[in-house]
Structure 1
């Protein structure tokens, strides 16, 4: 697959799950195209399109390490996202990264991710959690923030406060994840 073939595929109208899976399979053979895909996410966000973000999310579910060479670009662009259809998969990627870093203690992630990049994820996740966003972005964000609080000690008290203030008004999915997150925070002594 060439860069132009990837761009053409992403520009060919809404992608079916089957087509996304095919693109992911092709991308696995061409990790050098990951930056092109990431750049398309930020371009599509401005047009309220989301093919690239969906493909990137599915690619990184299989090969999360593909984001590492472009992690600075990834984290730098998070705060600029506006489209809910792009924010959800990017929030999911943040959750996968924080799980790899903090829960799984994957040395490849620990060695390649800088504190300022984690701070950018933290800022975006707090914005998505407290802003007018859909449930999936909020759920992924609260999980990422829980993990980030393992390194940044002020995060857990702030996360707890936000969840306590918002849990009653949340959907059943939000309440479920918020309740589980609050239980984990209490277990840590917060």
Structure 2
């Protein structure tokens, strides 16, 4: 399947779990399609890029190792994503990557992800935290930053400042996640 054919196929992706899972499995069965999918994802002003993000998120939920050969491309492009319906799945993929590192430090992800990749994820997560994003990307970002703070001493104090500063003006969902993260940070201190 060519990039143009994949682009056309993405028109059929919708919010249904069935469609996103179908295309995620297509990528898992045809890993050569991940690269063109990322190219489409990072055409950030194109509405189809959101559909590419949905499929990438589902693929990573099923098989995060399929993203390994593309970590450079993914981490270099995440800061460009700005459409709400693409930011959420990209933030979720970052959370999947970070969780994979800390759940199993000997996993293939933990062994392949570099300091540069982590720095790009940290930068994107802090951007989502301080920018006017919806709750879901902020929630995924705070979880990722909390975990990464185990290796970077400066992250937890910065994250705590942002969470405490924004707490009063955010939604109930944000407050619940923030309360949990702040409690964990204070317990570790």
Higher alpha-carbon deviation: 131-140 or 96-105? 96-105
Say which SS state the counterpart of residue 176 (structure 1) adopts.
helix
User: Relative to 1, partners in 2 of residues 1:84 and 1:106: Cα closer, same or farther, differing over 3 Å?
Assistant: farther
Higher alpha-carbon deviation: 5-14 or 80-89? 5-14
Say which SS state the counterpart of residue 42 (structure 2) adopts.
helix
CA RMSD, 1 decimal:
1.6
Counterpart for residue 99 of structure 1? 99
The answer (yes or no) to whether the contact 1:102–1:147 under 8 Å persists in 2 is yes
Counterpart for residue 181 of structure 1? 181
Partner Cα separation in structure 1 for residue 13 and residue 27 of structure 2: 19
5+ residue gaps, structure 1: none
Partner Cα separation in structure 1 for residue 104 and residue 155 of structure 2: 20
Say which SS state the counterpart of residue 63 (structure 1) adopts.
helix
User: Relative to 1, partners in 2 of residues 1:111 and 1:36: Cα closer, same or farther, differing over 3 Å?
Assistant: same
Q: How does 1:1-190 map to 2 (within 5 A)?
A: 3-12=3-12, 14=14, 16-43=16-43, 45-49=44-48, 50-189=50-189
Residue-pair matches, total: 188
Partner Cα separation in structure 2 for residue 117 and residue 75 of structure 1: 6
Partner Cα separation in structure 2 for residue 51 and residue 12 of structure 1: 9
